[in-house]
Amino acid sequence: MKTFNIAGPVRPDEHYTVPALARWDMEEIRRLIREKRYFVLHAPRQTGKTSCLLALMEQLNAEKDYRALYVNLEPAQAARGNMEAGMCTIISGIAQNARRHLGDQRLREWVDETLHEFGPLGALQGLLSRWSEENDRPIVLLLDEVDSLVGDTLISLLRQIRAGYPDRPRAFPQTVLLCGVQDVRDYRIHYGDNQVITGGSAFNIKSKSLRLGNFTHGDVATLYTQHTEEIGQVFETGVVDYVFEQTGGQPWLVSALGYEACFEMAVGRDRSRPIGLGLMAAAREQLIERRDTHLDQLGDKLKEARVRRVIGRVLADTVAADATIPEDDLQYVEDLGLVRVRPQLAIANPIYREVIPRTLTWTTQVLIPQETAWYIKDDGRLDLPKLLNAFQQFFRENGESWANRFDYKEAGPQLLMQAFLQRIVNSGGRIDREYGLGRRRTDLLVQWPLDEGRGFHGPVQRVVIELKLLHKSLETTITEGLAQTADYMDRVGAEEGCLVVFDRTLEVSWEEKVLVQQEQYGEHRIGVWGM
């Protein structure tokens, strides 16, 4: 029985698949190979790069115009700066894969004598040169996880390929494709006495960089339709739209949601029941809470300084005229798949938008001394005014010290507020978040089921909480905030609205910052808290 793939390359006999070679322009790939080009494929992790390379190798070998070989270079990462060990691992991997995929035993026999003759600084070039000379067809070499290498090992790899480039195709591969998360131009290679060179300078023979995109809406529909064809279980109208919207087409997220809903959840394993929006929303929540490997790796990346400089700006909504983001940092974070830059800089998809603040505030959540029961009224509704009054007092007593505990200090107040709320709603509610650079606000939608047995399928209390930093005068900030809160209430169908304004001006006393009042905006009664 086939299933959704959530680990490693796709196997068409085991997994639902979007045809790998349909995800990029094969006409362009063939042209680059015909023209003897060396080029780059890059994309975020778990988007299907390896599956595409393996499919390309299989296709080219079946056509018999070229001899194509795929090699994963990641095992050489363990060598770090030990170039000799790294190059030995790389050429041994090439020889092993030539035997496995092409039935070519010769390279295994050549490894030792090549190392002895050329040493680690020339062994790769020597091996590929001999193989090309003794081959009956031009070679296409597909190197995966190139950017996992570091230091002298990576420099030697790039320079040996560059040195052999003029001899192609008779005495060196006709085409070499380098694949990784980053484009080769963005490699920052540290070696020697803290010296740094860029991949672009070490590999100036690159003719083009290709980026593997996310799934289209049609791809998501194709993948999910295969489940229906395989098992007979249908997806209700709107589910594919919801999955595409929540994931932005990120391939691992698309497959992980399908796997969670159809194979992990007991309700979804009942094949007589269709997969509806409620079940898929529950799958999304479980995926976020469990933080599987893909999402856990995302959390690990948030600790990096380059990532923090970009994501922190988005979370804090720093839009000062002189505020800039280093181009290299922005490119790096985009290559990781954490953000999109068009039509404007924003977190890449709603699931990442939810995971990021939860990850950044997890330890704070468990340390905040607040309990859900304190804020539940007799009718089962959350008492949001009481909750925000408590947060206001908590922020007065602890705000600066707690907010400064975050690595993302510029977004400290917003993150602390979200940690406070998340702790309260963890027992059954849900928070949806909207934020992005230039919005000058963070929109939170708190959803709280009022019927424990029916959960989100029954009546739900919906409350909008708008978070704003004081950029202008207090009066102007509140006026803008009320309009934004009311607009968001209308969009999501919320019955209650709250506006929270953070004043980070050090010269202003707490007594001047504190504010609790009710405002009427159109048909909406909105509570305002200043702190």
Q: Is residue 322 part of a domain?
A: no
Q: Whose structure tokens read 């090309």?
A: 132
pLDDT at 68: 98
Which residue, of 211, 241, 274, is where some domain finishes? Answer: 211
pLDDT at 321: 43
Cα dihedral sign for 351, 357, 362, 367?
negative
Same domain, 135 and 263: no
Same domain, 197 and 268: no
Which residue, of 236, 257, 290, is where some domain finishes? Answer: 290
Structural domain of residue 30, as residue ranges? 20-211
Residue 18's nearest CA partner among 214, 189, 263 is 214
Domain count, the chain: 3
Kind plus residue range of the DSSP H or E element containing 141: strand 139-144
Q: Is residue 327 part of a domain?
A: no
Q: Is residue 376 part of a domain?
A: yes
Q: Is residue 341 part of a domain?
A: no
State the amino acid at position 160 in one-letter form.
Q
Same domain, 200 and 239: no
DSSP H helices in 405-459: 412-425
Task: List, in sequence order, every residue forming a beta bridge with 442; answer none if it has no partner.
Answer: 467
470 burial level (CB within 10 Å; 0-12, 13-18, 19+): middle
- End-to-end CA distance of the chain, in Å? 57
**Domain of residue 117, CATH code:** 3.40.50.300
Same domain, 205 and 226: no
Q: Are 420 and 357 in contact (CB under 8 A)?
A: no
pLDDT at 369: 83
pLDDT at 216: 97
Same domain, 447 and 381: yes
Q: Is residue 229 part of a domain?
A: yes
Same domain, 28 and 72: yes
pLDDT at 407: 81
CA distances to 25, 337, 366, 417 from 10, rounded to whole Å, are 19, 20, 38, 41
Sheet with 442-449, side-by-side order of all strands? 430-434, 442-449, 460-469, 496-502, 524-530, 515-521
Q: Are 432 and 447 in contact (CB under 8 A)?
A: yes
Same domain, 520 and 428: yes
Q: Is residue 115 part of a domain?
A: yes
Q: What is the pLDDT of residues 284-335, one digit of tens each?
A: 999 998 888 788 888 889 999 999 999 988 888 655 544 678 888 998 999 9
Q: Is residue 198 part of a domain?
A: yes
Same domain, 35 and 159: yes
Task: List, in sequence order, every residue forming a beta bridge with 530; answer none if it has no partner.
Answer: 501, 515
pTM (predicted TM-score): 0.87
Q: Give the rounded distance of the alpha carbon of 402 from its chain centre.
A: 27
Residue 496's nearest CA partner among 465, 531, 528 is 465
Same domain, 122 and 197: yes
Measured distance CA(487)–CA(478) in Å, rounded = 14
Same domain, 388 and 246: no
Which residue, of 186, 211, 236, is where some domain finishes? Answer: 211
Q: What is the pLDDT of residues 428-482, one digit of tens each?
A: 889 999 887 767 788 999 999 998 888 888 899 999 999 998 888 999 999 999 9
Same domain, 510 and 478: yes
Same domain, 433 and 465: yes
Judged by DSSP in three states, 516 sits in strand
Q: Mean pLDDT for each 10-residue chunk of the chain (531 residues)? A: 94 95 95 97 94 97 97 94 94 98 96 95 98 97 94 92 96 97 76 58 82 96 97 97 97 98 96 95 91 83 91 75 76 92 90 91 84 92 95 86 79 90 87 81 92 86 94 93 96 96 89 94 96 92
Kind plus residue range of the DSSP H or E element containing 190: strand 188-191
Q: Is residue 407 part of a domain?
A: yes
